[in-house]
Amino acid sequence: MRAVTLALILSLALPGPGHAETRVPETSAEIAMGFAPVVRAAAPAVVNIYARRIVADRMNPFLDDPFFGPLFRDFGMAQPRLQNSLGSGVILSPEGLVVSNHHVVGGAQEIRVVMADRREFEARVILSDEDSDLAVLRLIGAPPDLPALPLRDSDGVEVGELVLAIGNPFGVGQTVTSGIISGLARYGAATGSARGWFIQTDAAINPGNSGGALVDVAGRLVGINTAILTRSGGSNGIGFAIPANLVARFLALAEAGADRFDRPWAGIAGQPVTQDLAEALGLAGPDGFLLSELHPQSPFAAAGLKAGDVILAIDGQAVNAPQDVIFRLSVAGTGAEVVATLWRDGRALTRPVRLDPPPDDPDPEPFEVPPGAVLGGLRVERINPRVIADLGLPLAAEGVAVTAAEGQAARAGLRRGDVVLAVNGRRIDRPRDLARALSEAPRRWSVEVLREGRRIELRFRI
């Protein structure tokens, strides 16, 4: 009875590429087919991906020891090891452009793509971004008439819609699972990602499904499956997919020949509006994102926004958290102009905001300590908006930031993202200040850094 009821409420897609028309099944034969027409149309465009990469494993007998592990983290020799990863991908261009997850293909030396009809192609990554966890691959030697999935406007997706997850879980071959859209605008601790913005589904997503397709009943791509949240390690959890609108932006950049994903910079900080704040501000409900800080070079500051304003929407889409803002700006893309709807002094206003990458101004003055010197392997830059964005630093951060720490710098305890405040009591404001401080030759050293909001003093001898 349940299967018949499900089929009756399902709007079946007409098979074949480019058909988005839907209708209610009319005959018992159509009801019995269930999702078969959707799978028949969509599955050929979903591929299996096998990636191989060489990683360096360090043989450290103290690695898992809670006391000795930190003390001997650099003990042992790095041994190269061949690592294989399994995932899925979706063909979005008949010319052979495939979208998958960065964590599936990032850093791979060899990538093999196997289609549903068992044809195999070598592939190379042409655009990849770790923060968005997206990658675009080009199939080598593929014909120009491959099956490709159409993209859906993911802003129109609603909770409760039926969807299918298609991928290669556990390497058993192409598999289809069904479910519904169970949530939208998921981010933060619930998803395991502080920066991502996801569509949530209860369709089973297992290891190997990463990079696969989440499609609607018309066979259109709703999102790229990327993760599952589960306490048992099985598929009895909730899955998350990267929305199709961000995938479309990423694909357009790849087709235009971009070699990196330039995400627009907001340069703002704040908090979601609570019920108490809404009452104090005269808002009808707890909606929007209250600005507490704007960087002087923020595009929102240039558009006239200020601390105390509430951003209600961007291009008509509601925003309630920093991840909402980042997602909307990423979809719009650099060089675009968006309309921000804000609440100020008891009334709604609109402001056009031009989107650009974070300015690399002032000059970062990069400085690297050579190997063999004190803090050898340390690389630093003067903090500017681009450095703030790259390292996730507070908007008010100033001075010198660590962009890499290897060798002796790592052994001294320095990490990427540290802000160097002082060396042996000498204040550090510019990379040249650090160079002068390191030119001295005392036996005892003290380095004061700001790490995740805490001041830490690192001491060592040479």
Residue owning tokens 């357009």? 252
Residue 6 φ/ψ, nearest 5 degrees: -60, -45
* Catalytic option among 100, 129, 132, 133: 133
Q: Which one of 103, 128, 129, 202 is the catalytic residue? A: 103
Using an 8 Å Cβ cutoff, are 384 and 401 in contact?
A: no
Q: What does the alpha-carbon distance between residue 220 and residue 245 come to, in Å, rounded to a whole number?
A: 12
- Cβ-Cβ contacts under 8 Å for 66 (sequence gap 6 or more): none
Give Cβ neighbours of residue 28 (< 8 Å, ≥ 6 apart): none
Closest of 294, 299, 314 to residue 264, by C-alpha: 299
Q: Which two tokens stand for residue 157?
A: 């997706």
Find out whether the peptide bond into 385 is cis, omega within 30 degrees of 0.
no
State phi, psi for 224 to the nearest 5 degrees. Answer: -105, 120
Annotated active-site residue 133? The verdict is: yes
Please state, in angstroms and rounded to a whole number, the distance separating the CA atoms of residues 97 and 92. Answer: 6
**Torsion angle defined by CA atoms of residues 229, 234, 239 and 240, in that order, rounded to the nearest 10 degrees:** 60
- Which residues are paired to 55 by β-bridges? 81
Q: Find out whether 375 and 369 touch, Cβ atoms under 8 Å.
A: yes
Phi and psi for 278 in degrees, rounded to 5? -60, -45
Alpha carbon distance 319, 302 (integer Å): 20
Active-site pick, 88, 93, 210, 298: 210
Cα 149 to Cα 47: distance, rounded to the nearest angstrom: 12
Residues classed as catalytic: 103, 133, 210
